Chain A
Amino acid sequence: MVKQTTASSPLLQVEDLGKTFGQKPPVQAVRGVNFSIAQGQTFGLVGESGSGKSTTGRLVLRLLEPSAGRVLFRGNDLGKLGKKELRQERRHMQMIFQDPYGSLNRWMSIRETLEEPLLVHGLLDPAGRKQRVETLLNEVGLPKAALDKYPHEFSGGQRQRIAIARALVTEPELIVADEPVSALDVSVQAQVLNLLLNLQESHKMTLLFISHDLRVVEFMCDQIAVMYLGQIMELGPRKAIYRTPQHPYTRALLDSIPGRGKKELPRLKGEIPSPSAIPPGCPFNTRCPLAFDRCFREQPALYELSPGHVSACHLAEAEGQPQGRPNNIAMSPGTGA
């Protein structure tokens, strides 16, 4: 049996989540990630390519088995659900993918695509399904005539609308959007972002929004987590992250946004190391312009700078309170090498 959540507890709670792919060498894609998202919030995950954003998103929806940690959704540990229960639970959590060309089944008409989640979850009768699908299509701004067409007949933006409609059709409580606009042109991106905002308001849904584009994340999210090498480097409310970023990585990222050259720090050197060879100490130590000897020895804990704003940097120690749980990676196998 799946319990109902109480209004106060967060909708989604991620505890010590870790994921290691393969064996030789193990790729530690996600390590000791903790966060929670309250009902109706938009939570942003940013970071460079390979920092583990998508993997986190997939772990949250349990499209991947975590190697460590657990995901509580509506108070239930997803890991404890049976195969069938999990499948049923999926109607409450949906995903939007980056590539609107690849994520739609091109052999299914839009009607089939949109009805499928209802069908497989046995929701509504045929008339009800039809009704619901048409309403949703209208909401995402597509004409009814679209129903009997196939994905290839639509542009990228339109397809992303269809993907959004599919994600919404079972009225889920959580949507994980993995770079939903990265593949789109600016003008279309703006359309989709506006649509997402509108829908979120009207459907009161909770959004885990993944993007590498700091401008988009800033625009969309209430809470933002900056990831690096599978770990959260800094997490906090949008204003805190963008106005008073603490972590050198966050600051460097912000500095790199094109056209907004205020340049607090020197340019980041080099590139993100491979997640199969994570440097000891602070994972960012290879590129950090402010790194000092401790960073090479010791994994920084998460320090709370202000309520809800935490940073995993030794430099934050002075300013912040160590949080209950150190940001350590003991739970993900294969570390220590």
Chain B
Amino acid sequence: MTNISQTNPVLDVKNLAVTLTIYGRPVPVVTNVSFQVRAGEAVALVGESGCGKTMTARAIIGLPPDGARVGGSIQLEGRELTTLSKKDRRKLGGSRIGFIFQEPMTSLHPTLTVGAQLCDTLRTHLDLGRKEARDRAAQLLDRVGIPRATAMLDSYIHQLSGGMRQRVMIALAVSCKPALIIADEPTTALDVTIQAQVLDLLKEMRSELGLAMLYITHDLEVVSDFCDRAVVMYAGDIVEEGPVASILTAPHHHYTRGLIGAIPAHDEDRKRLTLIKGQVPPLGAWPAGCRFAPRCPRADEVCLKHPALEPFEESAVRCWHPVELKKKETSTLG
């Protein structure tokens, strides 16, 4: 929270809470999530499966699942979104916020051509004629590195390879030059080589358009040379937040530490990985205090109380016993 730029945040989320109704019972999925994304900044939202990353993103774009209740405040470029009418809010999607989904195969329409989908968005938000929109769409495809862009406008998504599909998805997200891009695990389904290509493209788009970006991932390493800050989530909570470099090399939360230790290190003789014991508690069965306490090596009675997200060194940590920086040198990280 200290070394980020001082511009106004593009996205300012405060105390976001999402509660789902499962079998008629309200079940919290996201609680107390607050973070900011500034112009030109990329923030990684990291966490294991089911910790509420996607839910957070969907709450931000105003498309939570049926029957979900969303609490807290979401401000985009200073405008409060939660009080906007449904229609006005809808208009922001595609124009001010671009969204990139995890699975381009299912997130793009199977029976509309790539061009049609692009033109739909373009013509919804920009005052463009049919022809102009098509030209624009071709430019966009060209920009995201799709060869023979004009011809590709008439192709269907199933005719494209995985990487191409994700490029189309990116083209769609940036088509109206939004202020913010939310990318939900955009490379998880891709091969490493393609992942690298897509990340390169995202990087380019970001600098070219001055985008703020919220990058959702479960793999910290993916974002290490890409994001400025990382927000680590665990069981619906933010447990740690700070500059990526510092989180990767000197995590303060025991959970973050565990996550990093679990990544097989390069060029070392086989030795066992550091483990987080146990598993993520299922929805609706979160412990009352610190949600990580049952798996935490440092847990004690204090941890029966829910800790707050407190600034700690250059980050913010939700932990009663944060790991101190000095001890880090001896940690297992390479």
Give the B-binding residues of A (Cβ under 8 A).
48-49, 155, 157-158, 185-191, 193-194, 197-198, 212-216, 218-220, 242-243, 252-253, 255-261, 267-268, 271-272
A206 to B276, CA, bound (A): 27
Q: Knowing A258-B195, A258-B224 touch, does A194 contact B266 (C-beta < 8 A)?
A: no
Cβ–Cβ < 8 Å partners of A258 in chain B: 192, 195-196, 199, 219, 221-225
- Residue B207 at the chain A interface, CB threshold 8 Å: no
Are A259 and B225 closer than 8 Å at their CB atoms?
Answer: yes
User: In the bound complex, do residue B196 and residue A215 qualify as a contact, i.e. CB atoms below 8 Å apart?
Assistant: no
> What separation, in Å, do the CA atoms of A243 and B218 have in the docked complex?
27
- Contact present for A271 and B161 (CB under 8 Å): yes
Tell whether, in the assembled complex, residue A268 and residue B218 are in contact, meaning their CB atoms are under 8 Å apart. no
Taking a contact as CB atoms under 8 Å apart, the answer to whether B191 and A49 are in contact is: yes
Known contacts A185-B218, A187-B275, A190-B274; is-contact A255 B267 (Cβ 8 Å): no
A-chain residues with CB within 8 Å of residue B220 when the two chains form the complex: 259
Q: CB distance A256 to B192 under 8 Å?
A: yes
A220–B197 CA distance with the chains assembled, in angstroms: 27
The smallest beta-carbon distance between A259 and chain B, in angstroms, is: 3
Among residues of B, the one whose C-beta sits closest to the C-beta of A185 is B48
Q: A242 and B273: CB pair below 8 A?
A: no
Are B263 and A186 within 8 A (Cβ)? yes
Contact B191 A259 (CB under 8 A): no
Confirm or deny: B49 has a beta carbon within 8 angstroms of a beta carbon on chain A: yes
- Asked if B261 CB lies within 8 Å of chain A CBs, one says yes
A157-B279 in contact (CB<8A)? yes
Name B's A-contacting residues (CB within 8 A): 48-49, 161-164, 191-197, 199-200, 218-225, 248, 258-259, 261-267, 270, 272-276, 279-280
Residues of A within 8 A of B196 (CB): 255-256, 258, 267-268
Give the tally of cross-chain contacts (CB within 8 A): 109
9 interchain pairs, CB-CB under 8 A: A155-B280, A185-B48, A186-B48, A190-B273, A194-B275, A242-B267, A253-B193, A257-B266, A259-B224
Across the interface, do A267 and B200 meet the contact criterion of CB distance under 8 Å? yes
Q: From residue A183, how far is it (CB to closest CB) to chain B in Å?
A: 10
Give chain A residues whose Cβ lies under 8 Å from the Cβ of B195. Answer: 256, 258
What is the distance, in angstroms, from B268's C-beta to the closest C-beta of chain A?
8
A200 to B266, CA, bound (A): 21
The answer on a CB contact under 8 Å between B270 and A271 is no
Task: State how many angstroms separate the Cβ of B172 from the closest Cβ of chain A.
Answer: 20
Contact of B264 among A219, A252, A253, A268 (CB under 8 A): A219
Partner of A256, one of B193, B248, B258, B266: B193
* Residue on B nearest A190 in the bound complex, by CB: B262
Given contacts A155-B279, A157-B279, contact A218 B192 (CB under 8 A): no
A98 CB to closest chain B CB, in angstroms?
A: 14
CB distance from B240 to the nearest CB of A (A): 15
Q: How far is the CA of A197 from the CA of B264 in the complex (A)?
A: 13
Which residues of B are found within 8 Å of A48, using beta-carbon distances?
191-194
Closest 7 A-B residue pairs measured CB to CB?
A259-B221, A219-B264, A190-B262, A259-B224, A190-B273, A256-B196, A256-B192
A179, chain B: closest CB distance, angstroms = 13
Could you tell me the distance between the alpha carbons of A155 and B49 in the complex, rounded to whole angstroms? Answer: 12
In the bound complex, what is the Cα–Cα distance between A256 and B218 (angstroms)?
A: 17
Chain A residues within 8 Å of B262, by CB: 186-187, 189-190
Contact present for A272 and B191 (CB under 8 Å): yes
| Nearest CB on B from A264, distance (A) | 13
Report the Cα distance A188→B222, complex, angstroms: 18
CA distance A242 to B264 in the complex (A): 14
List the B side residues contacting A216 at CB < 8 Å. Answer: 264
CB nearest neighbor in A for B272: A194
Chain B residues with CB under 8 Å of A220's CB are: 270
Please tell me if the beta carbons of B267 and A218 are within 8 angstroms of each other in the complex: yes
Extra inter-chain contacts (20) besides given A242-B266, A271-B193, CB under 8 Å: A48-B192, A186-B48, A186-B262, A189-B262, A190-B275, A194-B272, A197-B272, A198-B272, A212-B192, A219-B264, A242-B267, A243-B267, A253-B192, A255-B196, A256-B195, A257-B192, A257-B266, A258-B195, A259-B224, A260-B221
| Cβ contact of B192, chosen from A187, A193, A198, A214, cutoff 8 A | A214
Chain B residues with CB under 8 A of A213 = 192
A268 touches B197 (CB 8 A): yes
Residue in B197, B225, B267 whose CB lies within 8 Å of A261: B225
Whole-angstrom distance between the Cβ of A152 and the nearest chain B Cβ: 12
Contacts of B164 in A (CB 8 A): 271
A242 to B267, CA, bound (A): 7
Residues from chain B with Cβ under 8 Å of A212 in the complex:
191-192
Docked CA distance A219–B270 (Å): 6
Contact A186 to B218, CB < 8 A, known contacts A218-B264, A271-B161 = yes
The contact of A271 among B49, B194, B225, B264, by CB within 8 Å, is B194
User: Is there contact, CB below 8 Å, between A190 and B261?
Assistant: yes
**Chain A hits for B258, CB < 8 A:** 187
